[in-house]
Structure 1
Amino acid sequence: MATTYFTEDHEWIRVEGGVATVGITGYAQEQLGDLVFVELPEVGRVLKKGDAAVVVESVKAASDVYAPVDGEITDVNSALSSEPALVNSAPTGDGWLWKMRLADQAQLSDLLDEPGYNALID
């Protein structure tokens, strides 16, 4: 079963069997507006928690998306290269950004659960 966590920077991370899928929350994509470009990271890149991993550009601004935990990128959502608006239409589904192998599961305890994240944005 997958467990989903959230960061105060509005990323979500869904963990299943030591592999995490990362994206931005619905709240984040609403703040950004319509995305026009997503710069994806390289598969194999090792990230430390807090590293800028992805750049998303909207009609309003460009923003970094940060790694919520340490790990190695195992996959990227290449569909976003031609269809960045997937992040707007399905931020927690087809609009995921990258997958990574977790380096330290204990870091998940520093993240928010869904009720905690909802309290942050209310």
Structure 2
Amino acid sequence: MLGALLEETVYLAALTGEPLEARRDAPWIAGTPGTLCHTMTVRACQATGYTPRVRHHADDFGTVLALVAAGQGVAFIPELGLLAPPPDVVLTALPTRRRTRLAYRRGTGGHPAVLAARSALHASVVGRKQ
């Protein structure tokens, strides 16, 4: 069974505010191949008409933002990955959304342990977004 936990905005992180379509020749920073973040980067760029040239792979959003701030490329960052973005990084909200769901066995959604875990995770996420 899947239960919705969070839907969040995804941002284009760069040193300038040019739109995604203008990033055809930019170097990109993406997650490790095989991860959802890498797949999302490739698919979002392909939907815009090009395949990104990935220069760096990083799976930590703080590291990704530091690479963007150092001029090493542009990247997609989900809302929860923006704890302390560097001041020089321009964040442009995209229509792309990241959805996080919880998985649990069918018939266990009402179990006290599942309810408590869902409640704690939801409270944690809501607290971070505020």
Confirm or deny a common fold (TM above 0.5): no
Higher relative contact order at CA 8 Å, sep ≥6: structure 1 or structure 2? 2
TM-score w.r.t. the length of structure 1 is 0.30
Normalized per residue, which structure has more helix? 2
Larger radius of gyration: 2
Greater per-residue strand proportion: 1
